[in-house]
Amino acid sequence: MDDKRGIKETFMTYQARLKGLCCLYEDVVERRSCNLAGSDRTRQTNFERLVEGIAIQLALTWEIFTRDALLDSIVDYPEKFREREVKDPNWEPKARKDVEKVLITDQGKRFISFKNASDLVKHARDWIETTDEKKNPFLALDLGLVRHLNRFVTLRNHLVHRSSYSKDAFNKDFPGAKSPGKYLKEKINEEEVSKRYNQKYELGYFIEVFKRSLSRMAEAKSIALDPLS
């Protein structure tokens, strides 16, 4: 079966959203072009809130992209999902909504969620394919990228939930960091820059992780995307 137009649009939509966030990051963090009023302490706090807002948007756009890409892939290659989850030999999904109906939990109130990138890749293997990246683009995410994505999910969870559990997980993955905003705005030590995709700031490093993840997955699907600077 040839890939349907849907998954290409999914990739292109995510790329456009990611490009917008890249531009925002460059303006806010690299060029410091935002003019914040108040005392030095107030400006610093507000700057950290801006950085955290960009991080939350990065997480949200990634979650939307991976959800849609997963659904699109199951629609295109439903055999394994049908066997594991539907158990109806006549089931043939025509659109995302057909797959969503199977994955809705809590009496139709909530779509299934994934703990982190590792959990997402595991489910993609269970539901789509374990060896063919053309069918399952999540296989293109190597262990290094998955590890970095998992760390970002930990940071995102602490930003959103602010619970003692999310704080403990954040402190474990980011030892010494006082808060997500303070960590993300920090400059990377010059000795470490070459190991961190040549990025100057921690937030820029994570943006590069998302860019590389998109690139790997698009390449697996033979989807041509414009390069992100």
Is 13 inside a domain boundary?
A: yes
Is 207 inside a domain boundary?
A: yes
Could you report how far apart the first and last alpha carbons of the chain are, in Å? 33
103/57 Cα distance (integer angstroms): 24
Is 227 inside a domain boundary?
A: no
Residue 53 belongs to domain spanning = 5-220
Residues with Cβ within 8 Å of 228's Cβ and at least 6 positions away in sequence, in order, are: 15, 18, 19, 22, 211, 214, 215
Q: pLDDT tens-digit profile of 11-65?
A: 999 999 999 999 999 999 998 888 888 888 898 899 999 999 999 999 999 999 9
Q: pLDDT tens-digit profile of 154-179?
A: 999 999 999 999 999 999 999 999 99
Is 226 inside a domain boundary?
A: no
Is 110 inside a domain boundary?
A: yes
∠ CA 166-60-122, nearest 5°, is 75
Is 159 inside a domain boundary?
A: yes
Is 228 inside a domain boundary?
A: no
Please report the beta strands in 86-207, taking only residues with DSSP state E, as ranges in sequence order: 104-105, 110-111
Tally of structural domains, the chain: 1
Confidence of residue 149 (pLDDT cuts 50, 70, 90): very high
Is 229 inside a domain boundary?
A: no
Q: What is the pTM of this model?
A: 0.92
The pLDDT assigned to 2 comes to: 40
Longest dimension (CA), the chain: 66
Cα 20 from chain centroid (whole Å): 15
